[in-house]
Amino acid sequence: MAEKDLRVLILHFAQKSVDATKGMLQYLGYGGITGVSVPARVFNILKSDKFDLLFADYNTITRYEEDFLETLRENPGQVPIKVILMIDSDIPVQDLKKMYREGITATIKYPFQLNEMEKAIEDSIRSVPMAISKTIRKIRELDFFSFLTDEELIALLKISKCRIYKENDLIFEDGQPGDRFYVIVDGIIVISQIVNKRREQILARLKRGSRIGEMSILDGSPRTARARAYDDTVLLEFDRRIMEGYDDIVTLKLFKKLTHIFSRRLRGANAKIKQMMADQAKAREQSPNTPMT
pLDDT at 131: 59
Please state, in angstroms and rounded to a whole number, the distance separating the CA atoms of residues 125 and 204: 27
Per the prediction, the chain carries an average pLDDT of 85
Percent of the chain's residues with pLDDT above 90: 33
Please indicate whether residue 284 or residue 20 has the higher confidence score (pLDDT).
20
pLDDT at 150: 82
The reported pTM is 0.76
Q: What is the pLDDT of residues 66-111, one digit of tens each?
A: 688 888 877 656 667 899 999 987 788 888 888 888 888 999 998 8
Please state, in angstroms and rounded to a whole number, the distance separating the CA atoms of residues 177 and 116: 10
Report the pLDDT averaged over residues 275-290.
77
Q: What is the pLDDT of residues 136-162, one digit of tens each?
A: 778 888 888 888 888 888 888 888 889
Q: What is the pLDDT of residues 207-258, one digit of tens each?
A: 999 999 888 777 778 888 999 999 999 999 988 887 776 567 888 888 888 8
- Reported confidence tier of residue 2, pLDDT bands at 50, 70, 90: low
pLDDT at 31: 86
List the domains of the chain with CATH numbers: 1-127 (3.40.50.2300), 133-286 (2.60.120.10)
Contacts of 85 (CB under 8 A, 6+ apart): 56, 58, 99, 104, 106, 107, 108
Exposed, middle or buried by CB within 10 Å (0-12, 13-18, 19+), for 217? buried
Asked whether residue 203 carries a pLDDT value surpassing 70, the answer given is: yes
pLDDT at 267: 83
Please state, in angstroms and rounded to a whole number, the distance separating the CA atoms of residues 105 and 110: 17
